[in-house]
Amino acid sequence: MTRPVYFDCDTGVDDSMALAYLLASPEIDLVGIGGVHGNVSAAQGVTNTLRLLALADRGDVPVAVGRNDPLVGEFAGGAPHVHGVNGIGNIEIPATSAMPIGEDAADLLLRLSHEYDGNLEVVAVGPLTNLAVALHRDPSLAERVVRVTAMGGAALVPGNITPLAEANIAHDPEAAQAVMAASWPVTLVPLDTTLANVLDEDDRERLCTAEAPIVRAVGAALDYYFDFYVDEYGRRCSALHDPLAAAIAVGGMLPRVAPAVPVEVDVTDGPGRGQTVCDLRGQRLGPVDHPGANVRLVLETEGPLAPHMVERLLSLTAPVATVAIA
Amino acid sequence: MTRPVYFDCDTGVDDSMALAYLLASPEIDLVGIGGVHGNVSAAQGVTNTLRLLALADRGDVPVAVGRNDPLVGEFAGGAPHVHGVNGIGNIEIPATSAMPIGEDAADLLLRLSHEYDGNLEVVAVGPLTNLAVALHRDPSLAERVVRVTAMGGAALVPGNITPLAEANIAHDPEAAQAVMAASWPVTLVPLDTTLANVLDEDDRERLCTAEAPIVRAVGAALDYYFDFYVDEYGRRCSALHDPLAAAIAVGGMLPRVAPAVPVEVDVTDGPGRGQTVCDLRGQRLGPVDHPGANVRLVLETEGPLAPHMVERLLSLTAPVATVAIA
């Protein structure tokens, strides 16, 4: 039996790649998707998700709209300079008649946690608002979930939207703190590893010639995304933020250095707001788990993600019953 | 003409080594020393300083007692588990009749800044309380000082007394923020580099056989200090915190990677209190100075400090007119 996965995302360019990766992964079964504010509005992200699923002929996966605002404050407007105005690099994906389900994302997650009690895995690649709302509605959720794998935070590298804070966490620090503080095991995939895993132009070109339309769409969306990373890497390429979290959740990529350590999210209004405060003291001689720490911090992976990612995405076949996409 | 240096310290074991290094450095002239809370109380630190100076027959250097409490809160009791109860590894140094001067440390610094207007350099290896008090009394101080070189902070490595904060900064975040925000150039030497520079047992043994009594005292004091670092490095040795700041200030060790970047000290009451918030985004392709940033952050040095440190300390000769020390 494949493992049931709930995917929470703010569909974005790299979220799109993570989604395609999950669809291409025989180890798991995508049983529901929630949309959240972040790279784009929750509504725009859900639109992108529905269209990508339609491209893959996977309209069977229920998609729920989630929170468009963080627990404190309001949606900040997204990151059009990174992901494009529509979140997917300004590429056009055909509209679909598919609609989100009536439940909101938190209720979908709660329902799935009962349906797959003790088996459900959560992969979260946006702000953690929907997860926090679900925990707030029913704190026992944490007991029914096997693991939360979240892309977010920065431990020993600079942040990306403040000197210290990474965007997913910083867009809702209070929600992230609630998720870290809950009793479920969390695997946190921070900028430390996501920025160290890069997809290059030759990888992208392979995606653009894939058989599966969703993979070609991801390759096309990356064109815009690559421009953003020129300042970071000095060449057109991209970090693999959300795809790395997806691959670690699935098991396609293994963590090499991933100590379980106390992780607290800074919810002050100071310069550290939104940072992940990870206690990494005493790790010079090798990774040391702190007894009772429920957050495992992925600081190094077994190998570079790009080859595995490309291979798996190219393994997706074109759906039989879909219209060909240019 | 040698360069006049005011040295502010909480004399501790590594402060003692930094002091001996400054006394051994022909490039500079130690024109005054202020004592501050930190590793020990301000009074205990000054006692240690006076005795070390007497050992070196350098009673000519004026020593002033400074603040025993941070700007906010009270002296936290020091670090006897690191530096020993007396701050110098529980070794006995002969008492001296030398006394601190009547001025407090901030007034000494202010007076020296006029006496050596435009030439005075400041080396600070404890909490920055005295410097902040001096700035508060006369903000124009910053215009008369060539440079402040301070040991403190942690940029891309864990803190040492909290997950994020280094002791010197954390013991008085408000003072550190005032020092970073003033207009003088600051060279900040954080844990990133001080923990990467280690003194080993064979180095220590050479210090213990030095001609100069002050150097033998430093070697003896390190015995206790080495025990503390076993958990960090897996062997008896020590980081070179304050000595590295002294060597960089003098020019005996050159920074290799030291971008000028915005540095703010976290003065919230959150988990980041006392951390140095350094904006190191966009430095992947090499060090980039931020226009207008007055704090230069030393992230890498040209070479390991220990060989230079040992060589220079061993160059100190025994004073002619002092009593032999066992």
Q: For B266, which of A234, A270, A284 is closest by C-beta distance?
A: A270
Residues 157-176 of B with CB under 8 A from A: 157-160, 163-164
- Does A280 sit within 8 Å of B163, measured CB to CB? yes
Residues in chain A with CB shorter than 8 Å from the CB of B167 are none
Flag whether pLDDT at B59 surpasses 80. yes
What pLDDT, in 10s, does the model give residues B170-199?
999 999 999 999 999 999 999 999 999 999
- Confidence at B325, pLDDT banded by 50, 70, 90: low
What pLDDT, in 10s, does the model give residues B95-115?
999 999 999 999 999 999 999
Yes or no: say if A230 and A264 are a contact pair by the CB < 8 Å rule. Answer: no
d(CA B302, CA A212): 52
Flag whether pLDDT at B3 surpasses 70. yes
What pLDDT, in 10s, does the model give residues A129-155?
999 999 999 999 999 999 999 999 999
- Confidence at B319, pLDDT banded by 50, 70, 90: confident
B277 touches chain A (CB under 8 A): yes
Nearest to A141 by CA among A151, A128, A125: A128
**Cα of A116 to nearest chain B Cα, Å:** 36
Q: Strand (E) positions, chain A?
A: 3-9, 28-35, 63-65, 120-124, 145-151, 186-189, 198-200, 237-239, 255-257, 263-265, 276-278, 295-297, 300-301
Flag whether pLDDT at A322 surpasses 80. no
Yes or no: say if B40 and B3 are a contact pair by the CB < 8 Å rule. Answer: no
d(CA B247, CA B149): 10
What pLDDT, in 10s, does the model give residues B7-40?
999 999 999 999 999 999 999 999 999 999 999 9
Flag whether pLDDT at B300 surpasses 60. yes
- Does A158 sit within 8 Å of B280, measured CB to CB? yes
pLDDT confidence of residue B1 = 73
- Tell me the pLDDT of chain B averaged across its residues: 97
**Cα of A106 to nearest chain B Cα, Å:** 29
d(CA B312, CA B218): 13
Q: Cα–Cα distances in Å, from A35 out to A65, A194, A200, A206, B310?
A: 5, 21, 28, 28, 61
d(CA A151, CA A126): 7
**Residue to test with chain B: of A197, A265, A281, most B Cβ within 10 A:** A281
**Structure token digits, residue B92:** 């006995």
Nearest to B276 by CA among A165, A192, A164, A167: A164
**Overall average pLDDT of the A264-269 stretch:** 98
**Overall average pLDDT of the A237-242 stretch:** 98
Flag whether pLDDT at A323 surpasses 60. no
Q: Is A8 a catalytic residue?
A: no
d(CA B92, CA A64): 72
Flag whether pLDDT at A1 surpasses 90. no
Yes or no: say if B208 and B220 are a contact pair by the CB < 8 Å rule. Answer: yes
**Overall average pLDDT of the A225-232 stretch:** 96
pLDDT confidence of residue B321 = 57
Q: Is B10 a catalytic residue?
A: yes
The fraction of chain B above a pLDDT of 90, given in percent, is: 96
Yes or no: say if B212 and B17 are a contact pair by the CB < 8 Å rule. Answer: no
Among chain B residues, the shortest Cα distance to A261 is held by B163
**Cα of B207 to nearest chain A Cα, Å:** 27
**Cα of B14 to nearest chain A Cα, Å:** 20
Of B37, B83, B171, B241, which is the active-site residue?
B241
CATH 1.20.58.100 fits A3-314, yes or no: no
Q: Parallel, antiparallel, or unpaired for β A198-200 and B263-265?
A: unpaired
- Does B277 sit within 8 Å of A164, measured CB to CB? yes
The residues spanned by each domain of chain B are 3-314
Flag whether pLDDT at A237 surpasses 80. yes
**Residue to test with chain A: of B157, B197, B230, B266, most A Cβ within 10 A:** B266
Among chain A residues, the shortest Cα distance to B161 is held by A281
**Overall average pLDDT of the A282-302 stretch:** 97
Q: For A279, which of B163, B264, B281 is closest by C-beta distance?
A: B163
The reported pTM is 0.95
- Confidence at A66, pLDDT banded by 50, 70, 90: very high
d(CA A242, CA A259): 20
**Structure token digits, residue A158:** 């600079």
d(CA B245, CA B250): 9
pLDDT confidence of residue A321 = 57
B261: left (phi over 0), alpha (psi -120 to 50) or beta: beta
- Does A272 sit within 8 Å of B270, measured CB to CB? yes
Nearest to B34 by CA among B25, B42, B44: B42
A275 touches chain B (CB under 8 A): yes
- Confidence at A325, pLDDT banded by 50, 70, 90: low
d(CA A60, CA A324): 19
**Overall average pLDDT of the B135-145 stretch:** 98
Q: For B233, which of A163, A271, A284 is closest by C-beta distance?
A: A284
- Does B275 sit within 8 Å of A272, measured CB to CB? yes
